[in-house]
Chain A
Amino acid sequence: MGRALTVIHALGLMLVVFSGAYVLPVITSLIYGDNTMLLDFLLAMVWTLAAGALMWVATRSYKSELSIRHGYLLVVAMWTAMPAFATIPLLMMIPGLSFTDAYFETMSGMTTTGATVLTGLDSLPPAINIWRHELNWLGGLGIIVLAVAILPLLGIGGRQLFKAETPGPMKDAALTPRIADTARNLWAVYLSITLVCIVSLKWAGMNWLDAVCHAFSAMGLGGFSTHDASIGYFNSPLIEFVMIVFMLFAVINFATHFLAWRGKSLRVYLRDAEAVASLGLILSSCVGIAFFLWWQGVYTDFWTALRHASFNLVSIATSSGYASVDYAQWPIFAPLWMMFLTAIAASSGSTGGGIKMIRTLVLLKQAGREFVKLLHPAVVNPMKIGGQVISNSIVFSVLGFIFLYFMTIVTLTFLLLMSGLDFISAFTAVLASVNNCGPGLGIVGPSSNYQGLTDFQTWVCTLGMLIGRLEIFTVLILFTPHFWRR
């Protein structure tokens, strides 16, 4: 019991921090003079603050250093509690919205999935849109990373939390001696690029509200939009281009951005094998798919094909999930290839989802090692990525991860099939949820959304998003007997 109370104590503190997130929609409603929204958001803020403070104060005698187990429990508790509190304004504002759908929406926001159950986005109040997109943005780099950054965490083990939330297999490479500094630097880089993105989008022709919202969701690789037609609404090649650039920024490890910024050198990117592989794969796929569409006669003009292929492919591959055209109508090879890229293209430490490029590289190299071993039995060939030797224990943990990843996809797909969904919709909905991408194909395709799912199916997808964002181990570890054994 003591362990749970220790976690609740920290959770309370985190919720207090989280209540600060309501400031932005409050300001927005002030700007737009929307008094109902102002009241709703202030109320939500007070609720969250009060709940957090109560939890914190009531359990203060259990305050202690967080162990590894506390860390996992806290991260999962945090990632289930925050979306729950975030539903308050949505429930108050949108009549007839069930808690299931509201929770799906906020979870989709915080895990940067970007799938939505709402229609009529264009007519939502600005404050609600800002709130949805802010969730995308906060969830992108990680709310706990933010908490570690702004609180010296009052004596609790920040490094454990940091590890449990940050994606990627190798988390021990510290950028600065103190974890709080590392977190602060990462958020500084994230914030600066986001500001540049806002200005660029405004310059490219959006209004301020759209620019802020889309900058939030692009940097978080979330994919929420303020329009039902997503980016297709703007029908502007320039906006699409700006979005592509910033999505590609966000798909690279933020630690690499930080090193490049600190060293004032672009060579850092070339040394990051993961970034090179991600960008190379995405950009070559763009050209390849453009040729494919042109060859198939989907677009008669190659440049149009390249424009639509690039935007939609980058959007899906980076796990954002915007759409500018209904790519589900393309020959099935193209959208499935895009869904496949979602699973592998994002870098570790970026805001993207999926199994991450580093793990793909590890698996690829491992396969290569096996071939060399067959030909030269005496060979010693440790795995190297970007000149760094990767120890076998990391290779094993990656193999374990991949197995769990596939089992998760398979199990959740079966759950959806059991509930009566067709195969393509079920499979792509699970892929899109677990990879935090957003739109799938079939009834959850880019031209529709997740509204058509039953409550059970919605919950399955919600679970998929959580498992995918926290990279499987962090969630599933809570269900192992070892975790609870003393």
Chain B
Amino acid sequence: MKILILGAGQVGSTVAESLVSEANDITVVDCDGEKLHQLQDRLDLRTLTGNAAHPSILEQAGIIDADILLAVTQSDEVNMLACKLAASLYNTPTRIARIRATDFLERPELFNKDNFCVDFSICPEQILTEYITKLIEFPEALQVLEFADGKALLVAVRAFEGGPLVGKPLRYLHTHMPQIETRVAAIFRKNSSIIPEGDTVVQDGDEIFFIAAADNIRSVLKEIRRMDKPCKRVMIVGGGNIGQRLSKALENDYQVKLIEYSKKSCERLAGELSSTLVLNGDGTDEKLLLQEHIAEVDVFCALTNDDENNIMSALLAKQGGARKVIALINRNAYVDLVQGGKIDIALSPAHVTIGSLLAYVRQGDVAVVHSLRRGAAEALELVVHGDRHSSRVVGRRIDEINLPKGATIGAIVRGDEVLMGHRDTVIEAEDHVIVFVINKQMLKKVEQLFQVNIGFF
């Protein structure tokens, strides 16, 4: 596919990196030549320096035969204008824009065919905020991912000594609580994956991915590890875009303290937030953390735009007695370094947000893509169409489907119902199938498997 990416910032470059590896033709446009240079050094793609909202630049970048336009520059206005130009002048089939301002998002009619022609709008900060909110809601989980509008959840959790399931085979889960439908999609033990079977024995320290309906998540978590008491106090360091959104999302349900370094930003934040306590200071200042009773904090989130600061303040917070610490880390090398150590969760914003973009780029009807284990694995929600003749999936039992090894069908959402992927479940048309792929190499095969044959048309 020919993909045109506008903006080589954090989002733009991550998307580019992720898509290059899937054999696409990618052109990146940005007005900062230096950034593009660095990108081109690393990746096999074309770059162009210039204003992304100028038709001449777009033409040079090859918009005329592009399949997808991804406008992810810093400016909402440029992104919207680029989509409008692509639609009016060049008839680009799919136009995706990053829109951050709620003022625009509150008026969805702005994005329709008569106005700015934005097919899909994404807001990485919002996705990240929702992601962290879920983590705070389930403080035991390492990752909580939504499928089918939140009807089904995929949860990653580390097994701990003391959970009833630890030291027992997976089969035990079903006999122990027959009324709860769940399915373990994968287990990672010391960075290598194990395909879960009924007799796989869960060990202390395993990272377990399981799928269940949203209401059942807590019961399943209880089996895998001892439950902590629910979260009440949240401390956030960094009042940038993410910190502010997160505080706003949490402040009604939790006691939120927000630490921000710049006095000026503090004043703005305190004006816009209502019950959040805004503190002016440095998140790596242990005196400030102690003064604000870090030992009582249930979840500590370091969300500044500086990786090193986030790591240090998260470490300090853990040292000071915070129950769970989350650090936002942009650099991949650091994420691998830190994850699983003293810091409970190392969040890579790129991996959290890339999924929502990938869903539009993938072939077939893909509703949701979630990137797992820092991009090594992926969970997809695919919508199946057609009938027994035109599709290789519809009308077949799960054990009849020729899935590549390493891919498992975790669950099926049919209307409002969440069904677990048992051997004998028959897939129907318009089902949302949640597929768990341990290795990214298999993605193409999975996508092809779920596509409707050409003969169908």
Contact = CB atoms under 8 A, between A and B. Distances in A.
Interface in A336-383: 372, 376-382
A380 B291 contact: no
B267 A378 contact: no
B108 interface: no
Contacts of A379: 277-280
A53 to B, nearest CB: 52
Nearest to B260: A380
B267 A380 contact: yes
B336 interface: no
A384 B271 contact: yes
Contacts of A387: 274
A380 B281 CA distance: 10
A372 B275 CA distance: 12
A378 B280 contact: yes
Interface string A371-406: 010001111111010010100000000000000000
B71 to A, nearest CB: 33
A345 B96 CA distance: 54
Nearest to B280: A380
Interface residues of B, number: 16
A382 B270 contact: yes
A457 to B, nearest CB: 49
Given A381-B270, A381-B278, A376 B263 contact: no
A384 B275 CA distance: 11
Interface centre among A380, A381, A382 (most CB of B within 10 A): A380
A387 B271 CA distance: 8
Interface string B264-307: 00110111001001111100000010011000000000000000
Nearest to B258: A380
A380 B274 contact: no
Contacts of A389: 270-271
Interface in B398-437: none
B271 A376 contact: no
Nearest to B266: A380
A377 B271 contact: no
A377 B285 CA distance: 14
A interface SS class: loop
Contacts of A381: 270, 277-278
Contacts of B291: 376-378
Contacts of A376: 277, 279, 291-292
A382 B272 CA distance: 10
Contact of A382 (B267, B277, B281): B267
A384 B269 CA distance: 12
A387 B272 CA distance: 8
B279 A378 contact: yes
Contacts of B270: 380-382, 389
Nearest to B271: A389
Most chain-A Cβ atoms within 10 A of its Cβ — which of B274, B277, B291?
B277
A378 B281 contact: yes
Contacts of B281: 378
Interface string B197-227: 0000000000000000000000000000000
Contacts of B271: 382, 384, 389
A244 to B, nearest CB: 33
A461 B294 CA distance: 58
A381 B274 CA distance: 10
Contacts of B263: 380
Chain B CB count within 10 A is highest, among A377, A378, A381, A387, for A378
Nearest to A380: B266
Nearest to B265: A380
Interface string A184-224: 00000000000000000000000000000000000000000
A376 B259 CA distance: 12
A20 to B, nearest CB: 46
Interface in A63-87: none
Interface in A159-181: none
Contacts of B292: 376, 378
A377 B281 CA distance: 10
B288 A378 contact: yes
A372 B277 CA distance: 9
A470 B63 CA distance: 68
A372 B271 CA distance: 16
A186 B277 CA distance: 39
B278 to A, nearest CB: 5
A380 B259 CA distance: 10
B412 to A, nearest CB: 45
A137 B240 CA distance: 53
B411 to A, nearest CB: 43
Interface in A298-342: none
A371 to B, nearest CB: 12
Interface string A128-162: 00000000000000000000000000000000000
Interface in B117-159: none
B384 to A, nearest CB: 47
B424 to A, nearest CB: 56
B274 to A, nearest CB: 7
A133 B405 CA distance: 92
Interface in B248-264: 259, 263
Nearest to A372: B277
Nearest to A388: B271
A382 B280 CA distance: 12
B268 to A, nearest CB: 9
Contacts of A377: 291
A469 to B, nearest CB: 34
A377 B271 CA distance: 18
Contacts of A382: 267, 270-271
A384 B272 CA distance: 10
Nearest to B269: A380
15 contacts: A378-B281, A378-B291, A378-B292, A379-B277, A379-B278, A379-B280, A380-B266, A380-B278, A380-B279, A380-B280, A381-B277, A384-B271, A387-B274, A389-B270, A389-B271
Given A376-B277, A381-B270, A381-B278, 4 more contacts: A379-B277, A380-B266, A380-B270, A389-B270
Interface of A: 372, 376-382, 384, 387, 389
Query: 7 tightest CB-CB pairs across the interface, nearest first?
Result: A380-B266, A389-B271, A378-B279, A378-B281, A380-B278, A380-B280, A380-B270
